[in-house]
Structures are given as structure tokens and as C-alpha cells.
Amino acid sequence: MPSGPQAPDFPWDLMRRGVLGRAILLLIFGALLGLLIVLGYGLRDSSELLTIMWPASGLLLVALWSSPTSSWIWILMTQLIVQMAIYFAYVGRSNWQWGVVFAVANSVEAIVGASVARRLIAAPSMRQIRQAP
């Protein structure tokens, strides 16, 4: 019988994969994130050009919550690169500062959300409520 609390088994642990496996997972994540970012740009309100909702934030939140913190830097770097590239494609380089602001704001939002979710919700690997401490 093990003593003390055990570290949760995260379903999306990048560090368990080899370099090739990690690269493939990050490419898939980047492609899905890019599709959701493009979808988010399509969900604009024409009166103010405001985005009604941003589906990419949900994917980023779940990716961070279901992976160990050692993988967060890889996930966040992928998010920043993909979001900035798509921002440049849609808006252009004249207002690049806003792209950086939005990308960093989305990163901070997902980091805070994943951190709060880890404190308040059972680990992602727990399948049943009886497994909660």
C-alpha cells in the first residue's frame, strides 16, 4: 500500500512521449487551435467587430488542465505562435501590438483557469467521484 498522496496521472503528458511524439502532438494541438481561432474570427459581431466567443480558449484551458505543469511551456509556446501567425494573416502587421496583447491575455486566462480548476476539481485522471480525496 503506497504511503502519502500520489501524483495524478495526467491524460495528456507530453514529457512521456519521445521527441517525435511530442512534436506530433504539438502539431495536432496547433492545427486544432488554429481552426478554433479561425472559427473565433468568424464569430464576430459586425457592429463593433468584437468576437462573440473565443473557442480556442476552451481548448487551451483543457490542454493545460489535463497536462502536468512541466508541459505547459510547450503548449503555451504553441498557442502563442499559432495565434500570432493567424492574427498577422487576418489583421496584418500594422497593429501587431494588439495581437500580442490578445495572445498573452488568452494565455493568462488559461493558466489561471487551469490552476483554479486543479485546486477545486479532482485530477483529470479520476473517473469516478469515489476516487476524490
**pLDDT of 10 over the 60 cut:** yes
Question: Are the beta carbons of 8 and 121 closer than 8 angstroms?
Answer: no
9 pLDDT more than 70: no
Band of pLDDT at residue 23, cut at 50, 70 and 90: confident
Q: Work out the pLDDT band at 94, boundaries 50, 70, 90.
A: confident
* pLDDT confidence tier of residue 46, bands split at 50, 70 and 90: low
* Predicted pLDDT of residue 124: 58
CA distance 36 to 122: 27
Q: Is the pLDDT of residue 129 over 70?
A: no
Distance CA 51, CA 33 (A): 16
Q: What percent of the chain has pLDDT over 70?
A: 71
Q: How far is the CA of 52 from the CAs of 44, 92, 104, 124, in angstroms?
A: 6, 21, 19, 29
The per-residue pLDDT for 1 is: 40
Measuring CA to CA, how many Å separate 120 from each of 63, 65, 117?
A: 17, 12, 5
What is the spatial distance between Cα 83 and Cα 114, in angstroms, rounded to a whole number?
19
Q: For residues 57 and 41, give the distance between their C-alpha atoms in angstroms, rounded to a whole number.
A: 13
